[in-house]
Amino acid sequence: MSAVIAGLGITEMGKVYGRTAPEFAADAVRLAAADAGLTVSDIDGLLTNTGISGDVGLNLQRDLGLRDLRLLSEVQAYGSSAGAMVQYAAMAVESGMVDVVACVFADAPLKDPSSGAGAAYAGAGRRPAGWQGLAAASGIYSANTMYALATRRHMRTYGTTSEQLGHIAVAQRAWAAKNPLAQMRDPITLADHQNSRWIAEPLHLLDCCLVSNGGVAVIVTSADRAADLPQPAVHILGWGQAHPGYVMGPGSELGLVSGAAISGPTALKMAGVTIADIDVVELYDCYTFTVLLSLEDYGFCAKGEGGPFVAGGALGSLAVNTGGGQLSSYYMWGMTPLSEAVIQARGQGGERQVPRHDLVLVSGNGGLLDHHSTLILSPNPR
């Protein structure tokens, strides 16, 4: 019994105020169930990604009025959680443990500017202690500064440039222009990228992902059950995870290799395909650098050649982050690449639909390149 994604639910996205993350999550699950032609009461498994705030958890069962679940858990592997949830749901379905599993992520960090509040980030106001205090005293504390360090290491090792990263931002904005759900749809140029303000050098504003309010959910069930449902089934052919556990010390490969180098081959082997077979690539893109590093580690180009690869026209022939990604579309952790992968695999991308979409690779990245998940999806069974 093979598992498929049979439903996709996406709430309003972006600067949507006055709603909590649990409310977004509940709506996303209801939308996904309706999309699959099911009722919420058909769900007998629920996996939630708690995010950084921890607002969406086990109580979502009560919010949805679900009873007698056979699977209920909070999954936390940061940006790789969406891929991990689908993996666990697929295993539960294929084992016969459950029939219909909802996997959901939601967040609501943005506050109405008229209220005088800004984004409510987890950890704000906390005083770092121990070794973290030393790093913070040096100005290295946020995700921006940590990824800037990783980016700089790649630059110094392989000669990667800011202009090369800019090609990724420009290409993804071009895709976002065709996505009605995208927050940022106005075209940008390489000059726009280079002239955007520094966030944490060498990362410009246009190297960094958006902040979004909203929720996304998917429904995982068996291929047999999905055969009678209205949406085209998206078959889950392969999956893998990797958790390198990098440390900030001598001998670390931080900034040079990500977990995609392990989770990618694992997922491809399970699916019985190679990287050359992949038609559509949906990569976690918290920063442009994450895209470049993932392309190298999945084997789309050789290690250290990501810069010339993206600047040399490859993004014109390789369908990467076709909805605009987290850089230009919306930031829902690993649900951003997963939701676009489902849309492409179904053939429902509209103006941005990729003609050949038999095999779709989805990646999730969490922490400071600490966690990685990979899925291989297809409109066709194994």
Structural contact between residues 303 and 155, judged by C-beta atoms closer than 8 angstroms: no
- Residue tagged active-site, from 88, 246, 287, 331: 331
The secondary element (H helix, E strand) that includes residue 266 is: helix 260-271
Catalytic residue at 331? yes
Catalytic residue at 284? yes
Which residues 6+ apart lie within 8 Å of 202 measured at CB?
Answer: 148, 151, 152, 155, 162, 165
Q: Where are the beta strands (DSSP E) in the chain?
A: 3-10, 45-49, 71-75, 100-107, 198-200, 203-204, 214-222, 234-242, 280-282, 319-320, 360-366, 371-378
How does DSSP classify residue 334?
B
- Residue tagged active-site, from 147, 284, 298, 330: 284
Strand 319-320 versus strand 3-10 pairing type:
unpaired
In angstroms, the Cα distances linking 349 to 171, 179, 201, 231, 323 are 17, 8, 35, 14, 8
Q: Which residues are part of the catalytic machinery? A: 284, 331
